[in-house]
Amino acid sequence: MATVISVVPEKYVAPSVVQSIAVSEISDRDRIQSPSDAAAGATAEKGKKRRFFTRPWGRRQIGALCVLGFFGLALTALVIVLPIYFTKIYGFARDTDDYWKIPQPNEDHSYHLEENRPIFALHNFPDPGLIQHNDTWYAYGTNPMKKNPNSIHVPVATSNDFVNWTLHEGYDAMPTLGAWEKKVNHWAPDVIQRDDGKFVMYYSGEVKNYGTHHCVGVAISNGTSPLGPYIPEDKPLACPHKYGGAIDPSPFRDTDGTLYVVYKGDGNSIGRGGNCGNSKKPIVSVPILLQELESDGVTPIGEAVQILDIDDTDGPLVEAPDIMLTEDGTYYLFFSSHCYVSLGYNVKYAHSKSLKGPYVRADRPLLQTGDWGFEAPGGATVSTDGSKIVFHANCGQFRCMWSAALDIRSNNNTIVMSTLVVDQQSNSPKSAGNS
């Protein structure tokens, strides 16, 4: 008889028939872990891994350390160098206004002689220009009242002995103005006579529609008197916008009769700020420019040539150029440096065997604060023979004109102040050459 076997699916096996297994018989691999056990195991397993900077170091660790070291050094260098760099490039230039306080080790003894003291000439007469005609000296000054449209544009004074000066009160040597200029702020006029007997005046005029910038103007006398009146041209003679205009013109005639005008490119007027607009770095160029002229004294020939620029001893600017030629063929360029409102303002000079330079600067200014008690002497003009000079210096709230004699020492190209002596017979001044 056939036997029937009943098959029960595994999932229906009764619990009573499932064999129990001892926990100790389950392998670690097959053990079922609790969440806390799993976390502890992961931590233990991570602890067994080698850390990146665990010694001994391999190539990767050494390379990474080198990179980190390089960036650390670079960052340190930037922290140190950048402030210095930006101070040097965009900071303020070293203030040299107090140079005159430093004792001169080889000071020429002529600066200690009372007889060489310049003579007071005129009150409130800055930036004097100078010319001699028929034994009479004529001086022309900056307008006496700043920013005043009712001011005289060009005051004039005369002298027969270079010592006693007479201001022509109320007289304006240039009563009318050119179409290009404003009614205020006419500076530093100077005059030369041309071949036809008329006189040409060069001056600084404030330009319309150009802020407070100035340009070099030119005016012609309507007769043959240095007193004028002078009639200005309707356009400026020189106005280089790349230098912020031009000021302080001075005429010069070379030995061959060629006329020139030397003037300042007014670079500090477009500087980045600070003392006189140009002590904040980077310092801009402030050149002295020489322009050749036709015989009419009005028409330029070619482009102006730079013959000087500022250096570290000049502060923010150079200005008030004036040229004269000695008998031995040496050109002397006189100029002022530092800001005119500072005590560093002075009269410097340089020499050259060529009109267009290069010019070699003298070691000591011709005049500086402290000489005979002067404060901020500058804006000088020298006579054509180099024996006499006029300049201004502070006198209270004004700038007054002084006159003096010069001693040019051709053996070493130095110039010092001398004693101004008046010849009683001819009533004309002479330089004593006292050194």
Task: Reply yes or no on whether 292 is catalytic.
Answer: no
Tally of residues, the chain: 435
Q: Among all chains, which residue has been given the structure tokens 């009563």?
A: 175
What percentage of the chain's residues is helix, strand, coil (to nearest 5)?
Answer: 20, 35, 50
Which residue is catalytic, options 97, 127, 181, 266? 127
**φ, ψ dihedrals at 351, nearest 5°:** -130, 155
Distance in angstroms between the alpha carbons of the first and the last residue of the chain? 161
- Cα-based distances in Å from 69 to 66, 74, 199: 5, 9, 75
Q: Among all chains, which residue has been given the structure tokens 């500076």?
A: 187
Q: Which pair of tokens denotes residue 41?
A: 């195991």
Task: Reply yes or no on whether 375 is catalytic.
Answer: no
> What DSSP line would sit under 187-207, residue for residue?
EEEEEEE-TTS-EEEEEEEEB
Strand residues in 326-397 grouped as ranges (E)? 331-337, 348-352, 360-361, 378-382, 388-395
Cis before residue 358, ω within 30 degrees of 0?
A: yes
Which residues, at least 6 apart from 331, have a Cβ–Cβ distance to it below 8 Å? Answer: 323, 324, 325, 351, 352, 353, 354, 355, 359
For residue 229, the surrounding DSSP H or E stretch is none
CA angle 258, 240, 382 (to 5 degrees): 45
Distance CA 232, CA 76 (A): 63
Which residues, at least 6 apart from 316, have a Cβ–Cβ distance to it below 8 Å? Answer: 93, 268, 271, 274, 275, 276, 277, 278, 279, 283, 286, 310, 338, 339
Q: Among all chains, which residue has been given the structure tokens 């004109």?
A: 401
Count other C-beta atoms under 10 Å from residue 244's C-beta. 25
232, 178 Cβ separation under 8 angstroms: yes
Which residue is catalytic, options 206, 314, 319, 322? 319
Q: Which residues are known to be catalytic?
A: 127, 319
